[in-house]
């Protein structure tokens, strides 16, 4: 039976992050976490393969202490088991460190016939962990996959590139990243939610991965993060009759020289 690993990131929901107008600083004190949106597609694809041909699906995530909150949500979406690496150093991790940590974890828990990632994480959207992971593990990568098949030991994927599609066939294991259109993630059912409570979640300590301090030091460090402040006119036309609002709008646009 094939063994699949799916990688997901537990990210702050950007809808809850506020930008302070005064100094453009970010306030995430009220922000909740979520499974990174595109990773839901990765999870769904793994589960579709599991249902279609009886694969086992492991999931892995690397994050701060908060990742523990994600386990139930993740398991209710179908994977059989989840490995989590909860370490405060994740806050400073870049694609280099993240891919290194996940690769080390996958070596411990694998081998896998297929590793699935999302197109990019919802917070940093680096789109690099999947190809880096492949390189770390010495496997071929297939990025931006819009349809995926496992045929025996072979991975067959259609990639969606800017101006074309192509089919990539890999003999043996591969790492893929999937685009959102590949499937529609399901909403977990009551039984799936209940079943999740009984599935195994195993912590892997970062210290047990055998990584050197250098491998755990980010190549890219964040200097500042500032909210994007949009300075626009914000004029709302609020007459009771829409015809009057439209007249005012068209007059304004004419004045701007755009109609």
Ligand X SMILES: Cc1cc2nc3c(=O)[nH]c(=O)nc-3n(C[C@H](O)[C@H](O)[C@H](O)COP(=O)(O)OP(=O)(O)OC[C@H]3O[C@@H](n4cnc5c(N)ncnc54)[C@H](O)[C@@H]3O)c2cc1C
Q: Applying CB under 6 A, which residues contact ligand X?
A: 37, 122
Q: Which does 206 bind (CB under 5 to 8 A by kind): ligand AMP, another protein, ligand X, none?
A: none
Q: Is 42 in the site for ligand AMP (CB under 6 A)?
A: yes
Tell me the sheet residues that pair with 58: 5, 81
Q: Which of residues 99-118 bind another protein (CB under 8 A)?
A: 99
Q: Which does 88 bind (CB under 5 to 8 A by kind): ligand X, another protein, ligand AMP, none?
A: none
Least spacing, CB of residue 238 vs ligand AMP, in Å: 42
Q: For another protein, which stretch binds (CB under 8 A), given 40-48, 60-68, 105-113, 168-176?
A: 168-176
Q: For another protein, which stretch binds (CB under 8 A), given 42-50, 56-64, 104-112, 160-168?
A: 160-168
Q: For another protein, which stretch binds (CB under 8 A), given 56-64, 82-90, 104-112, 213-221?
A: 213-221
Q: Which is nearer to ligand AMP, 16 or 37 (CB)?
A: 37
* Token pair 């829409």 in the structure block, residue: 242
Q: Which of residues 176-195 bind another protein (CB under 8 A)?
A: 180-181, 187-191, 193-194
Q: Are strands 10-12 and 33-35 parallel, antiparallel or unpaired?
A: antiparallel
| Integer-rounded Cα radius of gyration of the chain | 22
Q: Which is nearer to ligand X, 53 or 242 (CB)?
A: 242
- CB 15 within 8 Å of CB 33: no
Tell me the sheet residues that pair with 7: 60
- Residue 115 burial class via C-beta count within 10 angstroms: exposed 0-12, middle 13-18, buried 19 and up: buried
First-residue to last-residue Cα distance in the chain: 63
CA pair distance 185, 38, nearest whole angstrom:
10
- The enclosing H or E element of 182 equals none
Least spacing, CB of residue 70 vs another protein, in Å: 13
Q: Which does 102 bind (CB under 5 to 8 A by kind): another protein, ligand X, ligand AMP, none?
A: ligand AMP
CA pair distance 93, 222, nearest whole angstrom:
10
């Amino acid at each position: 039976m094939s063994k699949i690993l799916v990688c997901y990131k537990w990210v702050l929901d950007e809808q809850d992050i506020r930008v302070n107008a005064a100094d453009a600083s970010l306030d995430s004190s009220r922000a909740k976490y979520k499974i990174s949106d595109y990773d839901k597609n990765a999870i769904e694809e793994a589960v579709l393969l599991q249902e279609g041909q009886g694969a086992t699906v492991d999931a892995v995530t690397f994050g701060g202490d908060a990742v523990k909150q994600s386990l139930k949500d993740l398991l209710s979406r179908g994977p059989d088991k989840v490995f989590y690496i909860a370490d405060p150093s994740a806050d400073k991790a870049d694609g280099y460190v993240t891919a290194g940590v996940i690769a080390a974890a996958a070596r411990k828990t694998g081998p896998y016939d297929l590793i699935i990632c999302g197109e990019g994480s919802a917070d940093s959207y680096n789109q690099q962990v999947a190809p880096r992971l492949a390189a770390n593990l010495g496997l071929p990568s297939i990025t931006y996959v819009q349809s995926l098949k496992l045929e025996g030991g072979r991975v067959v994927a259609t990639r969606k590139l800017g101006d074309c599609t192509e089919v990539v066939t890999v003999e043996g294991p591969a790492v893929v990243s999937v685009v959102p259109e590949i499937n529609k993630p399901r909403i977990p059912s009551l039984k799936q939610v209940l079943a999740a409570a009984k599935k195994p979640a195993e912590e892997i300590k970062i210290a047990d991965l055998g990584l050197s301090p250098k491998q755990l030091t980010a190549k890219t460090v964040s200097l500042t993060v500032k909210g994007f402040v949009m300075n626009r006119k914000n004029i709302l036309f609020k007459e009771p009759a829409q015809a009057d609002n439209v007249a005012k709008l068209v007059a304004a646009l004419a004045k701007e020289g755009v109609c």
